[in-house]
Structure 1
Amino acid sequence: MRLRSVLAVLTAGLAAATCVTAAGPATAQPGPADSARGKACSPAVSIDRFSDALDKTTYEGTFVGNFSALAVDRGGALVALSDRSSLFTLDPRTLSPRSVVPLADESGAALDSEGLVVDRDGTRLVSSETEPSVRRYGRDGTVLGRLPVPDALRVAPAGRAASNQTFEALTLLPGGRTLLAGMEGSLSGDTPGIVRLQTWQRHPGHGARDFRLAAQYGYRTDTGLGVVETTATPDGRLLVLERGFTAGVGNTVRLYLADPRRATDTGRVEALTGQGGVRLVRKTLLADLVDCPSLGATAKQPQPNPLLDNIEGMTITGRAHGGALKILLVSDDNQGAAQTTRFYSLRVRL
């Protein structure tokens, strides 16, 4: 489905989400302060609405939540990845689940599934933080293959990565030939706050599924934040979601525009310090989501803005009039009482 068609369906879906039984408000209700401010989070980003319709629900005996990534399927449906080894297809009009597929590794073990791409042939590319890994799955959850991963990016002692700090983000660049995975945290030996973005290149003549290791880049996060999602823009740049959490204060979530095209290939750089002639990926702040209007949202734990939660997934769903990108975000509730499964509909002007 074309992006404009997907946009129309998803916009209707978020507006109609009240038909799904859920805890908490299902749609945004702007208060007086929000009406005065409008829906701007920054000069580049505005929020249209949010939905809590799926919070603390189940589908066919499977908990609906723990969402770590989003994608738009070829037919226009939403695909939502749970980090508890489940892949949901969601109705774009109501957000209600249409199906759920369990995921596992080659031995049948569970994954810490974090990143998701729907490839051009409809198969699913899923990253896991466990090793880390990137696997290709059929629509029925069958493992079809696995991509190579540099030794340094593996979790210690096999490599230099910390547990739960690896492939949190995954995106396919325009043209479908380059896949990019983002590490959430820094490798041992790299300056804290500088993370690695690994790419794979699809080589013509070697099969549509054949991704081979390609360039790697360094990216500097804000202090205390990690990379939790990347999404390629139509012009080949990246939307990068950085997130952190402070107990008793709440979440920090910032959206950046990043451009890796002039960055140094760091695949053979042992230690990333941000010096020594290595050009890191340049980034520009689009919005700190604490500055968005709350739209009447409520929070189950302290938050600097009650709209915020543990936001972790992001996908582009189309374009608005004037060219702004329509972005859908989702939070990971960790299946906990203090967090919410919440969808956010944003407009982003690059």
Structure 2
Amino acid sequence: MRALLLAALLLTTPAVAAPRVSLIKACETPKEIVFQGGGYGGISGIDHEPRSDRWAFISDDKSEHGPSHFFLGRLDVRPGHPCGPVLETMVPLRREDGTTFPDRKDGAEAADGESIRFDPLSRDLVWSTEGDFDHGYPPSVRRMKADGTPLERTVVPDSLTFHAGGLTGARKNATVEGLTWSVDGWSMWLSMEWPLAQDGPIPSVAEGGLVRLTRLDRAGRVLAQYAYRIDPVQEASPVGVNDNGISEILTLDDHRLLVLERSGVKRADGRYGYHVRLYLADLAKAQDVAKIDSLATLPVRTVEKRLLLNFDRLGIRIDNLEAMAWGPRLKDGARTLVLASDDNYDANQINQILVLRFAP
């Protein structure tokens, strides 16, 4: 009897239980905050540096509301405390010659900061910019000091950048949205927002699409690449404007990532609504597709994904969540997961910060 009971337990118990994610608090930062000449808006990437307990917040402002910039500051993740943020320094983003990025209307390369990370092996920061399809500036990852001094620019691999005519390669304004270091810091993950042009259509209400997750070494060389299937668009738009894509990724361990899918829908009144889902992506059994030119031409073993949280079910307003980072641990040992929204400097959107409890 004992043997039969043990066998039944083994059959009904999953080998690896899914982490549990719950909301600790939601905060809304006032609009039109200007700090040291930079507007707190358009927040597309955040990260936490445990040694100093400082946070970085990057804006995707293309020098239209002050210089393109990021902030350094503090954030209180404890339950029952305001979650700010408390801004300490505004740091302009700079090109390799030391000059600040110009307004995109000038035709020169503008900054389109989408993700920012502290380098776990140094005190530097890296940040991704989506590039500019119209003016021929490719997506890239840039390294800088904490004071904004530029150190290095790495253009993304050729398969992920823009190609003449747009029939292959990255789609306009849908390139490198997500960036995260591996656990050991010796490699980096990049995620595309939408499928490459040759990998199939962008998601619709009827079907999703295949997006590439790419692992690079510290020199920017491709180590591996995997196909991740994003969901269909979550809601039809009465004016035909909606999408779904990856807005950020975050390393959990050597073969698992957290993936934030964000679906935006333009409604009849012109305002946008957002549907956001958090997935656990397991790459252990996925096929390396780095040498496959088109994912639309043959079947591939995609990344396994498991839904951790549907933000629609939190019972609160959810805005354009684009930023995600690990925060300090709570007293009970659980991790905190912090998300922030990009308000697009739109009066109808909010600057939102969510603090989640992440328990394995």
User: What TM-score results when the alignment is normalised by the length of structure 2?
Assistant: 0.75
Aligned equivalent of 1:92: 75
Aligned match for 2:52, one of 75, 84, 93: 75
Q: 1:215-294 alignment to 2 at 5 Å?
A: 215-224=224-233, 225-234=244-253, 236-248=255-267, 250-273=273-296, 275-276=298-299, 278-294=300-316
State the 4+ residue runs in structure 1 displaced beyond 6 angstroms: none
Q: Do 1:88 and 1:97's aligned partners in 2 also have CA atoms closer than 8 Å?
A: yes
Aligned match for 2:179, one of 157, 166, 170: 170
Q: Distance in 2 between matches of 1:147 and 1:322?
A: 40
Q: 1:17-32 alignment to 2 at 5 Å?
A: none
Instruction: Pick closer, same or farther for the CA change 1:163–1:174 going to 2, 3 Å.
Output: same
Alignment RMSD (CA, Å): 2.1
Report the number of matched residues. Answer: 289
CA displacement at 1:54 relative to structure 2: 4.4
Q: Distance in 1 between matches of 2:116 and 2:288?
A: 24
CA displacement at 1:71 relative to structure 2: 0.4
CA displacement at 1:211 relative to structure 2: 4.2
Stretches of structure 1 that go unaligned for 5 or more consecutive residues are 1-41, 203-209, 295-306
Q: Distance in 2 between matches of 1:65 and 1:221?
A: 27
Q: Do 1:54 and 1:65's aligned partners in 2 also have CA atoms closer than 8 Å?
A: no
Q: Distance in 2 between matches of 1:43 and 1:81?
A: 28
Stretches of structure 2 that go unaligned for 5 or more consecutive residues are 1-17, 62-67, 77-83, 102-109, 132-137, 202-208, 234-243
Q: In structure 1, what residue type is equivalent to 2:144?
A: Y
Q: Distance in 1 between matches of 2:26 and 2:345?
A: 19
Q: Do 1:221 and 1:242's aligned partners in 2 also have CA atoms closer than 8 Å?
A: yes
CA displacement at 1:293 relative to structure 2: 2.8
CA displacement at 1:140 relative to structure 2: 1.6
1:1-25 CA-to-partner distances (Å, cap 9, x unmatched) read: xxxxxxxxxxxxxxxxxxxxxxxxx
1:229-280 CA-to-partner distances (Å, cap 9, x unmatched) read: 001114541111000111126101000001123222211101113953x211
Q: Distance in 2 between matches of 1:81 and 1:124?
A: 11
Compare CA radii of gyration and give the structure with the larger one: 2
Q: 1:1-350 alignment to 2 at 5 Å?
A: 44-73=20-49, 74-84=51-61, 85-93=68-76, 94-106=84-96, 108=99, 109=101, 110-120=110-120, 121-130=122-131, 131-157=138-164, 160-192=169-201, 193-202=209-218, 210-224=219-233, 225-234=244-253, 236-248=255-267, 250-273=273-296, 275-276=298-299, 278-294=300-316, 307-320=317-330, 324-350=334-360
SS across alignment from 1:194:
strand
Larger mean CA deviation between 233-242 and 249-258 belongs to 233-242
Q: Distance in 1 between matches of 2:321 and 2:93?
A: 22
Q: Distance in 2 between matches of 1:283 and 1:274?
A: 22
CA displacement at 1:178 relative to structure 2: 1.4
Q: In structure 2, what residue type is equivalent to 1:292?
A: L
Q: Distance in 1 between matches of 2:312 and 2:293?
A: 36
Q: In structure 1, what residue type is equivalent to 2:245?
A: G
SS across alignment from 1:189:
helix
1:51-81 CA-to-partner distances (Å, cap 9, x unmatched) read: 1134331102211111001101241111111
Q: In structure 2, what residue type is equivalent to 1:119?
A: D
Q: Do 1:47 and 1:346's aligned partners in 2 also have CA atoms closer than 8 Å?
A: yes
Work out which structure has the larger RCO, using CA pairs closer than 8 Å and 6 or more positions apart in sequence.
1
Q: Distance in 1 between matches of 2:249 and 2:147?
A: 25
Q: Distance in 2 between matches of 1:77 and 1:48?
A: 20
SS across alignment from 2:197:
coil
CA displacement at 1:285 relative to structure 2: 0.4
User: What TM-score results when the alignment is normalised by the length of structure 1?
Assistant: 0.77
Q: Distance in 2 between matches of 1:72 and 1:133?
A: 22
Instruction: Pick closer, same or farther for the CA change 1:60–1:322 going to 2, 3 Å.
Output: closer
CA displacement at 1:156 relative to structure 2: 3.5
CA displacement at 1:321 relative to structure 2: 5.7
Overall identity of the aligned pairs, in %: 35
Q: Do 1:329 and 1:343's aligned partners in 2 also have CA atoms closer than 8 Å?
A: yes
Q: Distance in 2 between matches of 1:83 and 1:177?
A: 27
Q: Do 2:214 and 2:226's aligned partners in 1 also have CA atoms closer than 8 Å?
A: yes
CA displacement at 1:129 relative to structure 2: 0.4
Instruction: Pick closer, same or farther for the CA change 1:133–1:337 going to 2, 3 Å.
Output: same
Aligned equivalent of 2:104: none
Q: Distance in 1 between matches of 2:47 and 2:247?
A: 15
Instruction: Pick closer, same or farther for the CA change 1:333–1:274 going to 2, 3 Å.
Output: farther
Q: Distance in 1 between matches of 2:220 and 2:29?
A: 37
